[in-house]
Chain A
Amino acid sequence: MFGLHSLDFFTLMLYLAGVTFAGLWAARKVSTIGDYFMGSRKFGKAFMLMHAFGTGTHTDQAVSVAGASYKLGMAGIWYQWLYLFTTPFYWLIAPLFRRMRYLTTADFFEDRFSPSLAIFYTIFGLIYVSLQIGLMLLGTGKTANAITGGAVSPELAIAVMTALFLIYGLAGGLPAAIVTDFIQGFFIIVLSFLLVPFVLAEVGGFSGLHQQVPGEMFSLTAPGEPPPGYDRVTVFYIFMIVINALVGIVAQPHHMEIGGAGKTELEGRVGFTYGNMLKRICTLAWAFVGVACVAIYPNIADPENAFGMASRDLLPVGLVGVMLASMIAAVMSTCDSLMVDGSALVVKNVYKRYFCRDAPDSHYLAVGRWVALSVVAGGLLVTLTSHSVVGILKLTWSLGAFFGIAFWGGVLWRRCNARGAWAAVLVSGFLWYLSRFLWHWELAHQFALYLSGGFLAMIVVSLLTPPADKKRLDRFYTVLHTPVGDEQKLRDAGIEVELE
Chain B
Amino acid sequence: MWDLEFRRPSKQTVVGFIVAWLGVIGIILLTLLVVRIGA
Contact = CB atoms under 8 A, between A and B. Distances in A.
B39 to A, nearest CB: 5
Interface stretch (A51-59, A411-419, A484-492): A411-419
Contacts of A207: 38
A215 B21 CA distance: 29
Contacts of B12: 266, 269
Contacts of B16: 91, 269, 273
Interface string B1-39: 011111101001100110011011001101110111111
B20 A84 contact: no
Interface string A141-154: 00000000000000
Consensus secondary structure, chain B interface: helix
A105 interface: no
A91 B37 contact: no
Contacts, number: 77
A414 B3 contact: yes
A102 to B, nearest CB: 17
B31 A284 contact: yes
Contact of A92 (B5, B13, B23): B13
Contacts of A220: 31-32, 35
Contacts of A471: none
Contacts of A415: 2-3
A477 interface: yes
Interface string A473-490: 000010011000000000
B20 A477 contact: no
Contacts of B35: 74, 218, 220
B9 to A, nearest CB: 8
Contacts of A88: 17, 20-21, 23-24
A84 B39 contact: no
Contacts of B2: 413, 415
Contacts of A121: none
B21 A413 contact: no
A91 B24 contact: no
Interface in A280-295: 280-281, 284, 288
Given A92-B17, A413-B5, A205 B38 contact: yes
Nearest to B15: A91
A281 B27 contact: yes
Which 10 pairs of residues, A with B, have the shortest CB-CB distance?
Answer: A206-B38, A88-B20, A207-B38, A414-B3, A415-B3, A206-B37, A218-B35, A91-B16, A88-B21, A210-B39
Interface of B: 2-7, 9, 12-13, 16-17, 20-21, 23-24, 27-28, 30-32, 34-39
Given A210-B39, A413-B5, A481-B7, 16 more contacts: A87-B24, A88-B17, A88-B21, A89-B17, A90-B20, A92-B17, A206-B37, A269-B16, A273-B16, A273-B20, A277-B20, A284-B27, A284-B31, A413-B2, A477-B5, A481-B5
